[in-house]
């Protein structure tokens, strides 16, 4: 990317870069051209580190399109694209070659990126009708699917259903698995991973449902729609949150955070286009900087030991965090009813709202 001395990018590129509060922040790669439609915003991003040291990144956008990138030290390239005809909910990565997908009005399935083959799961309700899950999770050869009033567990090695977990008047919007502690979270509800029996629940802080839950030893991180906080809970005493981590997320859409267990770092996006990295062990803000022109609906910590070679030859490579962020739902300026259409178009052009992914280190 060519950047002028005044901080502007050369004509034809992505626009003006966000200002960085420190010299540690650096944009490594970006893609402003794959998601040209203003309404084709990013919904979910997940990454996978490959054995050769490169990274696989999979994105899901609002047009029901999955894009698989390969990130190396030299370049960011698109390896394959999967266009779904049905509305999509969520996905999870099984391996570098396989992805677990949940689509509207369609059974969930595992798709092979290389040869295009897929295997579907027979998810049915009590009327023997096929149903589509609104949340999915893969862990240790098990696929977990969340529905209204129930969750289902499958063994992907046999594609057989292992268990149906009934729930009363609950839509399972998020699934969390903690193998070491044998914990399964279906929204706020906690279950034993072996027996699938319920033994408790995380308190609901808002009226909206839990949209994401992640475990860390005896702790759990939860987030909900239209809620400005990510909550840290001690599962041994969950009467109130241990800590709250702020993010500007007053939207009814899902906003995903990323948590790295090895370094205890929490990465959250916000509605104003910035990302914040929290140290949950030290209970403090580690870094905060703008990254997008609009809402950051999804982000992911790709690597916590990214070795970035300095431009000075006599300096050793520096270990940094490598992260990715995707632009989310549009937020337009509100206008008075008396303003004319020409004034609105002049002050609020749709071209200002660009969808993109940005990979950065700090």
Mean pLDDT in residue range 262-276: 92
Tell which wins on pLDDT, 162 or 219.
219
195 phi/psi in degrees, rounded to 5: -95, -15
Max CA distance (Å), the chain = 69
What's residue 308's pLDDT? 63
Residue 45 in this model has a pLDDT that exceeds 90: yes
* 348 has pLDDT over 70: no
The pLDDT value given to residue 343? 52
Residue 9: inside a domain, yes or no? no
pLDDT tens for 4-22 read: 333 333 333 444 434 444 4
For residue 98, what pLDDT band results from cuts at 50, 70 and 90? very high
Please give the model's pTM, rounded to 2 decimal places.
0.85
DSSP 344: H
First to last CA, the chain: 18
More confident residue, 77 or 199: 77
Query: So what's the pLDDT on residue 9?
Result: 32
Residue-level pLDDT at 147: 94
Average pLDDT over the chain, rounded to an integer: 83
What integer pLDDT is reported at residue 19 of this predicted model?
A: 44
Domain interval for residue 131 = 42-301
Measured CA to CA, the distance from residue 193 to residue 142 in angstroms comes to: 11
Q: For residue 10, with 0-12 CB atoms within 10 Å meaning exposed, 13-18 middle and 19 or more buried, which class applies?
A: exposed
In a domain, 178, yes or no: yes
What is the structure's pLDDT at 3? Answer: 32
| 274 domain residue, yes or no | yes
pLDDT of 337 strictly over 80: no
Could you give the CA distance from residue 327 to residue 358 in angstroms, rounded to a whole number? 9
Output the domain CATH number for residue 249. Answer: 2.130.10.10
Range among 54-58, 87-91, 240-244 rated most confident: 54-58
Q: From CA 167, how far away is CA 173, in angstroms rounded?
A: 13
- Residue 334 has what pLDDT? 53
Closest among 48, 84, 43 to 62, alpha carbons compared: 43
For the cut 50, the answer to whether the pLDDT of residue 302 exceeds it is: yes
pLDDT at 325 (0 to 100)? 95
How far apart, in whole angstroms, are the C-alpha atoms of residue 64 and residue 47? 18
Query: What span, in angstroms and rounded, lies between the C-alpha atoms of 239 and 216?
Result: 18
Q: Give the containing element (helix H, strand E) for 342.
A: helix 341-347
Looking at the domain assignment, is residue 279 inside a domain? Answer: yes
**Mean pLDDT of all residues in 305-322:** 65
Over residues 241-251, the pLDDT tens digits come to: 999 999 988 87
pLDDT at position 91 is 96
Residue 177 lies in a domain: yes
Percentage of residues in the chain having pLDDT higher than 70: 83
For the chain, the domain total comes to: 1
Can you give the pLDDT at residue 318? Answer: 66
Is residue 16, in this structure, part of any structural domain at all? no
61 part of a folded domain: yes
List, for residues 223-236, the tens digit of each pLDDT value: 998 889 999 999 98
Q: Is residue 146 part of a domain?
A: yes
**Higher per-residue pLDDT: 355 or 340:** 355
Residue 20 parent element (H or E)? none
Give the residue-averaged pLDDT of 174-187. Answer: 93
Question: Does the structure show a pLDDT above 80 at 151?
Answer: yes
DSSP per-residue letters across 257-287: -EEETTTTEEEEE-TTSEEEEEETTTTEEEE
DSSP string, 55-72: EEEEEEETTSEEEEEEE-
Residue showing tokens 């309700």: 125
Per-residue pLDDT, averaged over 268-292, amounts to 88
């Amino acid at each position: 990317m060519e950047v002028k001395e005044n901080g502007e990018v050369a004509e034809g590129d992505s626009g003006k870069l966000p200002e960085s509060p420190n010299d540690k922040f650096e944009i490594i790669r970006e893609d402003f051209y794959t998601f040209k439609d203003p309404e084709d915003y990013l919904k979910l991003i997940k990454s996978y580190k490959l054995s050769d040291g490169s990274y696989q990144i999979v994105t899901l956008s609002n047009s029901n399109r999955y894009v698989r990138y390969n990130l190396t030290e030299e370049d960011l390239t698109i390896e394959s694209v999967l266009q779904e005809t049905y509305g999509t909910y969520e996905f999870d990565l099984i391996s570098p070659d396989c992805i677990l997908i949940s689509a509207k009005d369609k059974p969930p399935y595992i798709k092979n990126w290389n040869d295009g083959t897929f295997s579907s799961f027979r998810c049915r309700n009590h009327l023997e009708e096929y149903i589509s899950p609104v949340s999915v999770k893969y862990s240790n050869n098990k696929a977990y699917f969340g529905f209204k009033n129930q969750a289902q567990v499958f063994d992907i090695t046999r594609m057989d259903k292992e268990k149906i977990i009934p729930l009363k008047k609950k839509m399972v919007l998020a699934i969390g698995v903690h193998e070491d502690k044998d914990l399964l979270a279906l929204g706020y509800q906690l279950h034993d991973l072996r027996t699938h029996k319920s033994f408790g629940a995380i308190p609901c802080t808002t009226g909206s449902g839990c949209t994401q839950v992640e475990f860390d030893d005896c702790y759990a991180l939860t987030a909900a729609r239209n809620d400005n906080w990510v909550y840290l809970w001690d599962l041994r005493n969950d009467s109130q949150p241990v800590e709250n981590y702020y993010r500007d997320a007053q939207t009814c859409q899902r906003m995903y955070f990323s948590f790295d267990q090895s370094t205890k770092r929490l990465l959250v996006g916000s509605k104003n286009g910035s990302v914040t990295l929290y140290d949950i062990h030290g209970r403090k803000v580690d870094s905060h900087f703008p990254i997008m022109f609009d809402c950051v609906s999804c982000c992911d910590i790709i690597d916590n030991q990214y070795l970035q070679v300095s431009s000075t030859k006599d300096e050793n490579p520096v270990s940094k965090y490598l992260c990715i962020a995707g632009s989310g739902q549009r937020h337009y300026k509100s206008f008075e009813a008396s303003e004319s259409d020409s004034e609105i178009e002049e002050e609020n052009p749709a071209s200002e709202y660009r969808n993109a992914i940005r990979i950065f280190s700090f």
